[in-house]
Structure 1
Amino acid sequence: MKNQRIFPGIILIGFGAYFLLQQTGISLFQAFFTWPTLLIIVGIAFLGQGYSAREYEAILPGVIMSGFGLHFHLSGHLPFWPTNTIGMLILIISIGFFLRFQKTNNGLFQAFLFLILAVLLLFYDRIAGYFGLLQNGMNFIWKFWPALLIVIGIYFLLKKKK
């Protein structure tokens, strides 16, 4: 890390505020004394390091950690927040790749791949209804799409670089 004061500074301030508020016992903040809050603090530290110190590779873990923490805080508390945890976590990863791509011009393929997977997982019922997947014999293909992902992943691992 080029500028090593940002990440630890945010971590120390964030954790210090977390534990100080926890010790005060203010009931307003009781819902935030959980592990997702700690994820958000560490994620914000990575984002601070990524953007302030121009270490753009830190953007992806920052978005993932703060996004996961935010998702676990909001899930079940807001009526409009999606309850499909796997789909949301993959969407957050996709957002992280898009934000990192914005600064590094690297990872656009992964961003779209995760976005497509997230949309499929989040809107499976609607997609199946639109295309009639369950009625026209596509159920077999839909049932085995995880195996297709594994095969494509093995292809990328074994593909020779040109």
Structure 2
Amino acid sequence: MRKQNLFPSIVLIGFGLYFFLQQTNIQISSQFFTWPTILLIVGLAFLIQAYSGNDFEMIVPGILFLGLGVHFHLIQNVHIQLDHIGGIILFIALGYFLRYQKTRNGLFYFWLFLILALIQLFYDKYIQWIGIIEDKRLQFTSLWPIILVIAGAYLFFFKRK
């Protein structure tokens, strides 16, 4: 049986409804007609493709786009200050967890991204909790990019299938 690619059709339907509602005088909050809504539509299209078309590799980008749409709607409309990088990494971790539930593959990446997200989101609280006063010359935040590049290079060169 041929796998049906639902992604383009869902994106076109979603964008069509978005632009139709934008042009009509239906009373919907103007906050709905912003660019994060486009991210929500694309994320939903990825997730519908993933679950309806049994294309479970689409779960991670679907959760990422959907999460980014929700994230930016919350920042714009509720004025919650969220850490962007920590939140993005957390969405990726959630995507890998949901993919793992369907394919039994990717649990390592779930834990990796979850730990990275928790470190990024709660780094200041960790430092206060354990009572360490950091040396300003050698902060973890200055090492963060190097650690990510090394981890990514290791996965790219040594953990490929």
State the SS of the aligned residue for 1:144.
helix
> 2 CA distance for matches of 1:156 and 1:47?
26
- Counterpart code for 2:55: E
Q: With the length of structure 2 as denominator, give the TM-score of the two structures.
A: 0.85
> 2 CA distance for matches of 1:124 and 1:76?
25
- Counterpart code for 2:138: F
Could you tell me which residue of structure 1 aligns to residue 62 of structure 2?
62
Could you tell me which residue of structure 1 aligns to residue 100 of structure 2?
101
Give the drift of 1:139.
7.3
Give the drift of 1:28.
2.6
> 1 CA distance for matches of 2:20 and 2:160?
52
2:138 to 124, 137, 140: 140
- Seen in structure 2, the aligned counterparts of structure 1 residues 155 and 55 have a Cα distance that, compared at 3 Å, is closer
Give the drift of 1:149.
2.9
What are structure 2's unaligned runs of at least 5 residues?
none
- Seen in structure 2, the aligned counterparts of structure 1 residues 110 and 77 have a Cα distance that, compared at 3 Å, is same
- Seen in structure 2, the aligned counterparts of structure 1 residues 76 and 41 have a Cα distance that, compared at 3 Å, is closer
What are structure 1's unaligned runs of at least 5 residues?
none
Q: How does 1:1-162 map to 2 (within 5 A)?
A: 2-4=3-5, 6-78=6-78, 81=80, 83-134=82-133, 140=138, 142=140, 143-159=142-158
Give the drift of 1:25.
3.8
> 2 CA distance for matches of 1:122 and 1:10?
33
State the SS of the aligned residue for 1:63.
helix
Runs of 4+ with deviation above 4 angstroms: none
Q: State the Cα deviation string for residues 44-84 of structure 1 (Å, max 9, x = none).
A: 011011101111111111111111111111125336x5511
Q: With the length of structure 1 as denominator, give the TM-score of the two structures.
A: 0.84
How many equivalent residue pairs?
A: 159
Identity, in percent, stands at: 48
